[in-house]
Structure 1
Amino acid sequence: MERENIFRNHIKRNRWSYLIGFALLSISSLLQLFIPLLLGQFTDKLQSSTLTYKETITFGLWMAAVGLGVAFFRSTSRIYLFRLSRMLETRVRGELFKHWEKLSAQYFNNQRIGDLMSHAISDVGVVREVTMQGYFNIMEAIMLIIISVIAMVYSVNPMLTLLTMLPLPLLSILAYRFNKRMQKQSTDVQAAVSDLTSRVQEFTAGIRVVKAFVQEKEERKLFTKDNQHAVNMNRIFARSNSMFSSLSTGIVGFSFLVSIVLGGVMVLKNIITLGEFVAFNTYLSLLMGPIENLGKVVNLLQRGKASEVRLMEIFRTQPEVVDDVVANQEIEHIDGDIEIRNLTFSYPEADRPTLRDISLKVAKGSSLAIVGRIGSGKSTLVHLLVRMYNPPEGTVFLDGHDIHEIPLRTLRGQIGIVPQDQFLFSSTIRDNIGFDPHPYTDDQVIEASKVAQVYDNILEFPEQFDTALGERGISLSGGQRQRVSIARAIIKRPSILIFDDSLSAVDTITEDLILEGLQSVMNKRTTIIIGHRVSSVQAADQIVVMDEGRIVERGTHEQLIRRNGIYADMYHKQLLDQEAERQDGQDQEPLTKVHTLQGGAGA
């Protein structure tokens, strides 16, 4: 989308099409002017008693022909112009989605889903209505007003035309006075709709939490509050719109009053004929519809302006992460050699660095494990490796290239990541595992699911791999979602494989099976594992412990145990926890058997 006015750009791109549509509408408007002329002639002949039967038939045929001509050209022009508005709607919505895809993760962190949905549906819909009803009504009003006034001046009476048209400029003054008020109210309406959409989205996404904590009543109160606010904003806007429409109708009615009174006097004084009087009022009637529609157009244009401002604000937002000018487009493959040099990184909104002076090397085909407390910067480090955020230049290198030199498509295409948030799409399991630009065979999907230890679970579903998942994969358990996410990452056969705490929702037995199955996948691939369980990271070639954004310990599992630091403390605590769980299981087993026997005897 060019960084200019959406409507001006649309007209510029389709100027010849609009000229054709305007021409068709002009023909329709010109044909409409024959109706008052025919009625005037018919009335004069009827009044003078010179109307014959043949002439009556002729007038009827001419009226029918003009009516059909008006209907044909008006309908054709509407179809032609409305098609252009639908094309604009499709283009703007498509370019909006395309632009969102370019924006960085930071942008979406600061946006509500309801607002984004409102932009894509409501704002784009208003843009369509402006170019559909708005442009059509403006064109029709301009043509009919110009042509009708000229016809009224030359075929009836200039003075009567002037006096009748005199109140109509008040409409321009009225529109100017209501302009800013209605634009602000339109913005308030859209904001209220966004709030309401966000409320519904959050409620549906968190329905299980709402029910688990018995918060239905509170959620109803919050929804009622947002719903009432939306109603109030629409009511205020409707009040202004109704006031504008009523005043506009009053001005138009006053013009009719002038026409009836002055025109009637002129007929009585034989200044104009009765036929001319009928023709004049018919001309005026033709004007009333378009003039009254101008009130609706003003309302629509204000809404369109508010929607355009919001959309252009999005289009003017530049992605923070893009291919740098130094990017070498010839780099199409990554081997997986990673080096980080003195990396210090802060999020845009943070008041202190998240990562401090990080330096490490991960050789091609080796494995790195990162452990540490929550908030120590583990996930931030891997997010920088896939450039979800921009690391400082000269700090992160892949295969000896500064990460800014590697095209984003190559970088992210060669890295498979299993994030903490196991987001799945509401399509089939097969589509979620094979979520990649390159198509995969059924055998590859099955192999990936087996490595991720989710194959047997998938076979339990009635549709197996064709099972459609609910929103965010809600029909799967937490562990199943994690394993499908793992399968989605490993099916890419990437050069670098990243597991961001992706085994936390599975039990230790399944964890061992997954790690065992991953050995063949991890072979000759650089692997980074972030975890809280020592059991999931202890086999790594290199382990680093992070605390408050710094690397405080590094080495192999055995070296870190001997150092007796943070890692060793984590290891011993987890051993004690496992021992306690094992002891609890042994203590409860006889009791369980007793209860089972008692239940069997009672049965």
Structure 2
Amino acid sequence: MERKNIFWDHIKANRWPYVIGFALLSISSMLQLIIPWLLGRFTDSLQIGGLTYGQAVNFAVWMASAGLGIAFFRSASRIYMFRLSRQLEMRVRGELFAHWEKLSAQYFNNRRIGDLMSHAISDVGVIREVTMQGYYNVMEALFLIVVSVTAMVSFVNPWLTLLTMLPLPLLSLLAYRFNKQIMQQSADMQAAISDLTSRVQEFTAGIRVIKAFVQEQAVRKLFAQDNQHAVNMNRRFVRSNSLFGALSAGIVGFSFLVSVVVGGIMVLKDVITLGEFVAFNTYLSLLMGPIENLGKVVNLLQRGKASELRLLEIFNTQPDIVDDVIAKPEIDRIHGDIEIRNLTFAYPEAKRPALRDISLTIPKGSSLAIVGRVGSGKSTLVHLLVRLYNPPRGTVFIDGHDIHEIPLKTLRGQIGIVPQDQFLFSSTIRDNIGFDPKPYSDEQVAEAAKIAQVYDNIVEFPHQFDTPLGERGISLSGGQRQRVSIARAVIKKPSVLIFDDSLSAVDTITEDRILEGLKSVMNQRTTIIIGHRISSVQHADRIIVMDEGRIVEQGNHEQLLALNGIYADMYHKQLLDQEAERQDVKTRRQGSSVLLQGGTGA
């Protein structure tokens, strides 16, 4: 369902807390009206010379009491209503994050991280400010305007009140004039902040590349451009905001001028008393502050509207990967019998399909290896198996069920995947291996690390499994990150295991050890291995070779060598490279052994 308004939904959900907050604010405002009345009485008593010491003390006590009451109820109302705005901020930010989790990978492919961060921090912050300062000032202004004008008409003079109030409607015209301008400039300012945030994120993520290519000056120049653009957008907004504030203050000042001139004449002509004149101007002073704040609120509301529209655009983006209407909730487990029938798939906005006429059967408990050139469609195929993208209906089946019939929670919960990018979170090694809603014991984490051949590396760290990792696991080597990713998939004990080129960053000897350790895990589990090295795939039950989105060769290792095609060509080229690598590793180890023996002999 399309979401249309964040602010109104918040008010409806918290109508009674807002009523209480408004009641507290109303009491504070009513108490403020006592002080002008007391000042008027005090001035008249002083003017006629009838003010005694006791009366002066009484006036002082009443004013002090009113001041304390104003302070108490105003503080209580601010605390109460500001707490509501903080709750809105927390809720909107939580809903935003939860909604992002529902969106597909394609959505994030087309968005910059800086834009997403700006939405979560800057836009949500503006929403908070609107409900914090905006609503409070509007409520206070409306109540004070009504009761102050009523008091000025009732206790002083209706004609003086009318003449003083005449300039104030110009504020409405002024607000209307600046409305669209401020809203557009606020949107431009938020977009500039997004660009600046994206530039900082790219810089921090690519700092090693920047330094390696000596591009610090060029990057600094690009940052300076984005920084200056953000400043320029902010200046535009500040200029408009300041001009609006200055014109608003001028209109308010003109009302004071009318009050002083006309009111002074009325005092001289005995139309009103000096005390009434003092009371009237004190009422007007109370009134002008909230009226000036209304001008600021107009600007804030326009900023809030711009931020709300940006957030609503996200909330109204519907996830394209959800449980299908044909999904069967009773399917709570898969066993791993996979069949693909005449699968053709193209990415959104792509000019040609990434996969063409793929037909394949992977029996439960068997292993399939996929090899091929870069861009041949290998990763696309496994992404469709976990529905990171939606395959056409009637093309992918698991355990005889169309993949669209299987709930996403079941499908992804029963498939363990080791992706190409080996993404690790900036928490501990233990948290990264045990990354699953189900808690794992220390023994299970250690066992998964042993299977992935990373246990020996981990125990050498000062804090072992509690070692904190840097951003994206940067404190580990590429091979260590891959092996921690393998351990993360293995510990789930899934029905289907997918290794997407997950051994590319380790040497051939470590690769042999990992594959040997994985044999027990792969037993009775459907396993799909994507690789560029023949050594990592040659023992699979079945191997397919892909090229330009098609299966061009398939069979076991021996059958594919006999075809003397793409696979055989890859094998013979890599065989020479692997032998040279193994020989180099052995030579280095032998050299280290000789040095150690020499050191011992010495």
Q: Where do 1:170-181 residues align within 5 Å? A: 170-181=170-181
- Of residues 286-295 and 547-556 in structure 1, the stretch that sits farther from structure 2 once superposed is 286-295
Q: Report the counterpart of residue 492 of structure 2 in structure 1.
A: 492
Match of 1:107 in 2: 107
Please give the alpha-carbon distance, in whole angstroms, between the structure 2 residues aligned to 1:279 and 1:351: 77
Question: Which residue does the alignment assign to 1:96?
Answer: 96
Quote the residue 1:429 is aligned against. 429
Secondary structure of the residue that 1:544 maps to in structure 2?
strand
Alpha-carbon distance between aligned partners in 1 of 2:403 and 2:342, rounded to the nearest angstrom: 14
Deviates more, 1:207-216 or 1:230-239: 207-216
Residue matched to 1:160: 160
| Counterpart in the other structure of 1:483 | 483
Question: For the residues of structure 1 that align with 2:517 and 2:588, how far apart are their CA atoms?
Answer: 32
Residue 323 (structure 1) aligns with? 323
- Aligned partners of 2:579 and 2:487: how far apart in 1? 31
CA distances 1:210-235 after superposition (whole Å, capped 9, x unpaired): 11111111111111111111111001
SS, match of residue 359 in structure 1: strand
Task: Report deviation, 1:578.
Answer: 3.1
Q: Distance in 1 between matches of 2:583 and 2:37?
A: 103
Query: What's the counterpart of residue 184 of structure 1?
Result: 184
Residue in 1 that maps onto 2:304: 304
Does the residue aligned with 1:351 lie in a helix, a strand or coil? coil
The residue number in structure 2 matching 1:236 is 236
Matches within 5 A, 1:122-161: 122-161=122-161
Matched, 1:543 2:522: no
The 5 Å alignment of 1:381-392 reads 381-392=381-392
State which drifts further: 63-72 or 355-364. Answer: 63-72
Question: Structure 1: 5+ residue runs without aligned partners?
Answer: none
Q: Displacement of 1:581 after TM fit?
A: 4.9
Whether contact under 8 Å (2:371, 2:531) holds in the other structure is yes
- Specify the code of the residue in structure 2 equivalent to 1:396: V
In the TM superposition, residue 21 of structure 1 has moved relative to its aligned partner by 1.1
Q: Deviations over 1:86-140 (max 9, x none)?
A: 1111111111111111111110111111111111111111101100100000000
| SS of alignment partner, residue 222 of structure 1 | helix
1:344 is paired with a residue whose SS is strand
Cα offset, 1:576, TM superposition: 2.8
Q: Distance in 1 between matches of 2:566 and 2:325?
A: 42
Query: How many Å separate the matches in 2 of 1:60 and 1:234?
Result: 47
Tell me if 1:24 matches 2:30: no
SS of corresponding position for 2:342: strand
Residue of structure 2 in register with 1:347 after alignment = 347
CA contact (8 A) 2:509 2:582 kept: no
State the secondary structure of the residue aligned to 2:458: helix
User: Is the 2:182–2:240 Cα contact (8 Å) retained in structure 1?
Assistant: yes
Q: Secondary structure at the match of 2:369?
A: strand
Q: In the comparison of the two structures, how many residue pairs are matched? A: 597
Give RMSD over aligned pairs.
Answer: 1.9
CA distance, structure 2, for counterparts of residue 451 and residue 84 of structure 1: 51
Gaps of 5+ in 2: none
Given the two structures, how large is their TM-score scaled by the length of structure 2?
0.97
Q: Which residue of 2 aligns with 1:12?
A: 12
Q: Aligned residue for 1:82?
A: 82
Per-residue deviation, 1:360: 0.4
Gap change, CA 1:167 and 1:113, over 3 Å in 2: same
Question: Take 2:586 and 2:186, find their aligned partners in 1: how far apart are those partners?
Answer: 68
Measure how far apart 1:23 and its partner are.
1.3
Is residue 59 from structure 1 mapped to residue 68 from structure 2 by the alignment? no
| Structure 1 position 22, deviation (Å) | 1.1
* Aligned residue identity for 1:164: T
User: 2: distance between equivalents of 1:521 and 1:12?
Assistant: 54
Aligned equivalents of 1:485, 1:103: Cα separation in 2: 23
Change (3 A) 1:79 1:581: closer
What does 1:409-488 align with in structure 2 at a 5 Å threshold?
Answer: 409-488=409-488
Give the C-alpha shift of residue 4 in structure 1. Answer: 2.3
How far apart in 1 are the matches of 2:589 and 2:170? 90
Quote the offset at 1:575 in angstroms.
1.6
Partner of 1:210: 210
1:69 maps to: 69
Q: Secondary structure at the match of 2:457?
A: helix
Report deviation, 1:586.
Answer: 9.7
Moved more, 25-34 or 378-387: 25-34
User: AA paired with 1:577?
Assistant: D
TM-superposition CA deviations, 1:435-472 (whole Å, max 9, x none): 00111010000000000000000011000000000000
Post-superposition CA distance 1:19-67 (Å, at most 9, x none)? 1111111111111111110000000000000001110000001101111
Q: How far apart are residue 340 of structure 1 and its match?
A: 0.2
The verdict on how the C-alpha distance between 1:585 and 1:68 changes in structure 2, with shifts beyond 3 A counting, is: closer
Work out the CA distance in 1 between the residues paired with 2:487 and 2:3.
41
Structure 1 residue 582, shift from structure 2 partner: 6.3
- Partner Cα separation in structure 2 for residue 238 and residue 491 of structure 1: 55
Residues 466-475 or 23-32, more deviating: 23-32
User: Which aligned runs of 4 or more in structure 1 are off by greater than 2 angstroms?
Assistant: 576-590
Does the residue aligned with 1:327 lie in a helix, a strand or coil? Answer: coil
Secondary structure class of the residue paired with 2:497: strand
Aligned residue for 2:287? 287
Describe the SS at the equivalent of 2:427: coil
TM-score (norm 1): 0.97
CA deviation map 1:383-424 (0-9, x unaligned): 000000000000000000000000000000000000001000
Distance between the aligned counterparts of 1:265 and 1:328, measured in 2?
85
Question: Aligned with 1:552: secondary structure?
Answer: strand
| 2:366 matched residue in structure 1 | 366
Distance 1:585 1:148, change over 3 A: closer
| 329 and 377 in structure 1: CA distance in 2 versus 1, 3 angstrom threshold | same
